[in-house]
Structure 1
């Protein structure tokens, strides 16, 4: 669990809140090294998902960058496969 001091929490509050909501990781705020409060995400907060284009169910294969590598290289080199 991450622990930060009060001054850093005041300076970066918006960013810290975004991280807590996004990752669900609680945060301890301390003063002079002594833990004071624990900030946790609100349970009812709905996480938003980012859509890719128009197809939210789209999945990209793990080998996407290597798919048809030989065929594509042959086309660029002017060779027949």
Structure 2
């Protein structure tokens, strides 16, 4: 569940909002009534990538240069 708080109120009650976010609540900071930023606990950020986590291999053809027409499509 998330709660929306305007910036002025957030400045006034920042310590309380930090505690609520640390306890797992998502706080949406709004500027002029429009969502502007999100206050969440640090533990809720995505974990770092782990190389080799997904099993499988790519074939040698994966490393071949792209055909000119396909390369041109990527460069547009």
**TM-score interval for Structure 1 and Structure 2 normalised by the shorter chain:** 0.5 to 0.7
- Unpaired stretches in structure 2, ≥5 consecutive residues: 45-76
The answer as to 2:29 corresponding to 1:37 is no
The alignment status of 1:11 with 2:8, answered yes or no, reads no
Distance 2:26 2:36 in 1: 13
Looking at structure 2, the residues matched to 27 and 15 of structure 1 have their Cα atoms a distance apart, in angstroms, of 11
**Deviation >4 Å, runs of 4+:** none
Distance 2:20 2:35 in 1: 19
Cα drift, residue 20 of structure 1 = 1.1
After superposition, the CA RMSD in angstroms is 1.4
User: How high is the TM-score relative to the length of structure 2?
Assistant: 0.53
Q: How many residues align?
A: 43
SS at match of 2:43: coil
- Normalised to the residue count of structure 1, the TM-score between the two structures is 0.50
Matched residue SS, 2:4: strand
